[in-house]
Amino acid sequence: MSIFTPTNQIRLTNVAVVRARRAGKRFEIACYRNKVMGWRSGAEKDIDEVLQTHTVFVNVSKGQVAKKEDLVKAFGTDDQTEICKMILSKGELQVSDKERHTQLEQMFRDIATIVADKCVNPETKRPYTVILIERAMKDIHYSVKPNKSTKQQALEVIRQLKETMQIERAHMRLRFILPQKEGKKLKEKLKPLIKVIENEDFHEQLEIVCLIDPGCFREIDELIRCETKGKGTLEVLSLKDVEEGDEKLE
């Protein structure tokens, strides 16, 4: 679709329109296709990569620009870029049924890819293939939410899949080196956050190699920094504790 704006004759091509209704009026912005969802998920952070023009329209296809007084009444400002951001995050993306279907299919695959990348079978420690995760998502009738990021939805999928199959986040392997004075007391505080202690050595310092759930990493990091006043060290030995080869689902 190509669009001409009569005011300045800028030819807008490859247009995706995002529409919002405010104060009884319709407002539209012209965006690049495939960029709107990237902005909403946080993958795209450059507004100029998303907007074709920092102009608010009442009708993009006819090139009808919104009046300043209407913008102020509806949005409380006439700053076009800020209004574009509001419409971009809350507005409705105008797409054909075919485009919407393609978009949802792509998001479904992206979610399955994230899940496969982050998870393993807890019994074998082997990762699942993307195809296997896609099949499992279809079995639980998972419905993609177009306005929610794929990362958020992947965490939701993991929670739901746990009810029907052996799956969990792959553990991170860490090494802590803690000062002798705080070591024993701090170990007791860290225990609830540790899945498995693989090795422990206590001489002048307490050294622990362990597996943790990735969701606990930030809490562990803060605990060690605060309790040891920066004297303790935390080292990531591996981001994922996995065995070689893919998991098969019989």
Q: What percent of the chain has pLDDT over 90?
A: 46
What pLDDT score does 3 carry?
Answer: 55
Predicted TM-score (pTM) of the model is 0.59
Please provide residue 37's backbone torsions phi and psi, each rounded to the nearest 5 degrees.
Answer: -65, -35
User: How many CA atoms within 13 Å lie on the side-chain side of 83?
Assistant: 29
Name the pLDDT band for 8 (thresholds 50, 70, 90). very low
Given a cut of 90, whether residue 80 has pLDDT beyond it is: yes
Name the pLDDT band for 82 (thresholds 50, 70, 90). very high
Name the pLDDT band for 249 (thresholds 50, 70, 90). very low
106-110's contacts with Cβ under 8 Å and 24+ in sequence apart are: 107/37, 107/144, 107/146, 107/150, 107/153, 108/134, 108/137, 108/142, 108/144, 109/134, 110/150
Given a cut of 70, whether residue 78 has pLDDT beyond it is: yes
What pLDDT score does 243 carry?
Answer: 60
